[in-house]
Amino acid sequence: GSEQEFILEGDLFIDSSGDGALAFSAGAKFRMGEESGKEFNESLAPKKASKGTMGNSLMFEARDLGYPVKFTPPPWASKFPSEEDLSHKDHADTKGNVFMSGHWWIEIGFPFDTISDNEKIRDILLAQLMGVWDHIKNTGNHKAENLALHWVGALPGKRESRRFIGDYILTENDVRSARPFQDSAAYGGWFIDVHTIGGILKRRERPEPSHGNPAEMDRRFVYPYPIPYRCLYSKNIKNLFMAGRNISTTRVALGTTRLMATCAVMGQAAGTAACLCKKYKKLPRDIYAKHISELQQALLKQDCYIPYIKNEDALDLARTASVTASSEAELDLARETSGSHSLSIPRGQVFPVSGKKINSIELLLENKSNSEKEITLHLCKTDHVWNCDPKKETTFGKAIIGPAKKEWIEFSLKVDIEPGKFYFAWVEPDPNGEISWHFSRGLTPTGVVMVEKSLPTLWRSSSGWSGRHAWFCMKIDPAQKPYPASNALTGVTRPEKWTNIWVSDPANGFSQWLELDFKKEITFNKVEITFDTDLDSHSNNAEVLKEPCAAQCAKDYALYADGKKIAEATGNYHRKRVHAFKKVKASKLKLEITATNGAPFASVYEIRVYNVTTGEHR
């Protein structure tokens, strides 16, 4: 290094360093280690507080060379002579994530200090990693003959160290209940992922308590939850923000807030708050007291998501308009089947409704037994798209499926429902697992979620990642149309308590349009559009290279003011588009979509319209 010292001066600082080097140097109050369960009434915390922390991991990449490759471990490598030495640590299937990123459970932390002992931890991790690879290559049958190490990391990834105290400390109970906050500024949704203290040194223990243990996952599973702004600034250093794993949480809550994507949205919130501090010549705490609504609205305008907060921007002229569309899609869940899931466990589906009544629901079921079976379907109302609560039952129905049959089975319900809401239909399990429910794959209709009760209590998306881009085959009478033009003005840009998206009728082809009618002539010079880029996708780098564009996203489109073209785009693949132009006067604004990146329908989450003054940064 250059051995030079730099002095940086400023009015505001954001510590996103993970360990909180800046905040610690400034004297910010912090916590490190475990709180007792009694302190915050947390069920996942230990009875007694301790200095224990989660550990650091060293990653690696392996490649299949197509021919046998020998591996001779260095003499300092750790030894794992038996499978029991790596019990509960998935390593037998070498065709999984071993190629991309190694094994997360090669982890070392306590009894070492994850900050001061960083280099020592790295050396021990390298010995453990080489020992694990020696075990995979040279012990038992792991089908790893053709695998060779391609890359080994030199810098361990950290999970936990200092947590700096803000005006609020987020707890386990907050995230498990998805508690709404008046100052919500970010969100999370990963389960409470608190790893076993000691990591790989605890050879016979699970690396994380719920790993392969459904009962423990039941205790740790969470739905999307808000993170309050008060967790993002220091309690005692007046000009200091935090963002990342060093924010103000208990250790248990850190298990879910520490995820990198969650850290990113915290950074967006802290950075935007710093901008408001500069604008008003205020400090971080003042934004909470006087400008929290402005912060939230600014974040939404940047296409951030904050649970239960919607667009209420007084300068958005679209909020005063009515909206119509060229067509609106029906909810179609009866497409060609792609496979089936056994009803050996309870399975169901969340779906949106637009009408006031459901006469019947049909399911495509298959009976593999030689006797007829009685099937029970339950219909429940749910608060939002990710919540399945069978206690809120609306009605139920029974039907018979014949022996050795694959057919549509009708359940007569004749029940009144509330339009503009999500409902949850689930089927009781077949004790012998001889009944299956067929599903389809493709561009999943927005707001439709396959779910299963694979945990003791909670329902969650079916079969992990395989439940994405799939839905159970279902017919609803009467037909539902949950994607009207008005959805583009709900103020929410993803499915939540409602679908919040306009979708055109795929049978009508292109072009398709959405038109705002302001009822009088207005002046505007900026239009912001939020398209659908498949928020349900699970993409690693390789998948992004294969399919860089979401099929649902508008590819070619134009904007018209009273019939005159004012902006256009071709080859688009972005979710958020902002079009600025010279001021125009018009009473109507039309968005015409002439092509997507593959989907047979057009879709739009939101349109905003502004009259921006010169030099205004909005």
Q: Check whether residue 144 and residue 170 sit in a common domain.
A: no
**504 & 430 share domain:** no
Residues 169 and 32 in one domain: yes
Rg (CA), the chain: 27
51/46 Cα distance (integer angstroms): 12
Is residue 389 domain-shared with residue 422, that is, in the same domain?
yes
**DSSP 8-state secondary structure symbol assigned to residue 276:** H
For residue 220, what pLDDT band results from cuts at 50, 70 and 90?
A: very high
> Which helix (H) or strand (E) segment is 148 a member of?
strand 147-152
- pLDDT > 70? residue 97: no
Residue range of the domain that includes 523 = 317-328+483-610
Q: Is residue 204 part of a domain?
A: no
Kindly state whether residues 33 and 166 are assigned to the same domain: yes
Q: Report the DSSP beta bridge partners of residue 366.
A: 406, 436
Residue 8 belongs to some domain of the structure: no
Q: How confident is the model at residue 98 (pLDDT cuts 50, 70, 90)?
A: low
Q: Which residue has the tokens 């029970």?
A: 376
Residue finishing a domain among 152, 181, 198: 152
Question: Would you place residue 601 in the very low, low, confident or very high pLDDT band (cuts 50, 70, 90)?
Answer: very high
Amino acid letter for position 68 = P
Tell me the C-alpha distance between 266 and 309, whole Å: 16
**Residue 337: pLDDT above 90?**
no
Q: How far, CA to CA in Å, does 248 sit from each of 16, 286, 353, 396, 508?
A: 13, 18, 40, 45, 51
Total number of domains in the chain: 4
Taking only the tens place, the pLDDT of each residue in 453-489 is: 988 888 888 755 555 689 999 999 999 999 999 999 9
Alpha-carbon gap, residue 238 to 112, rounded angstroms? 32
Concatenating the DSSP letter of every residue in 163-224 gives EE--SS-B-HHHHHTT---TTEEEEE-S----PPTTGGGSTTS-SSTTTT-HHHHHHH----
- DSSP conformation class of 120: H
Residues 289-310 have a mean pLDDT of 98
User: Do 494 and 595 share a domain, yes or no?
Assistant: yes
- 120 vs 96, higher pLDDT: 120
* Domain boundary residue, one of 126, 152, 178: 152
What lies within 8 Å, CB to CB, of 407 at 6+ separation is 364, 365, 401
Measure the N-to-C terminal CA separation of the chain; round to a whole number of Å.
Answer: 41
Q: Answer yes or no: are the C-beta atoms of 307 and 187 closer than 8 Å.
A: yes
| Token pair listed for 569 | 């785009």
DSSP 84: G
Looking at residue 437, its pLDDT comes to 97
pLDDT single digits (tens) 499-539: 999 999 999 999 999 999 999 999 999 999 999 999 887 66
Domain membership of residue 265 (yes or no) is yes
β-pairing, 13-15 vs 240-242, is parallel
- Whether residue 593 is found in the same domain as residue 500: yes
Of 152, 181, 215, the residue that ends a domain is: 152
Q: 402 and 442 share a domain?
A: yes
Residues 128 and 105 in one domain: yes
Residues 372 and 444 in one domain: yes
For residues 543 and 549, give the distance between their C-alpha atoms in angstroms, rounded to a whole number: 11
Cα gap 556→597, rounded to integer Å? 9
Q: What is the pLDDT of residue 617?
A: 46
User: Is residue 77 in a domain?
Assistant: yes
Q: Are residues 173 and 272 in the same domain?
A: yes
Both 399 and 439 in one domain: the answer is yes
Question: Helix or strand or coil: residue 452?
Answer: strand
Q: How large is the average pLDDT for residues 367-377? A: 96
**Residue listed under structure tokens 């075990």:** 135
Distance between CA atoms of residues 253 and 251, nearest Å: 5
Instruction: For the chain, give the mean pLDDT.
Output: 93
Answer yes or no: is 292 within a domain. Answer: yes
Closest CA to 256 of 326, 351, 343, 159: 159
Instruction: Kindly report, residue by residue over 535-570, the tens digit of the pLDDT.
Output: 887 665 555 556 678 999 999 999 999 999 999 999
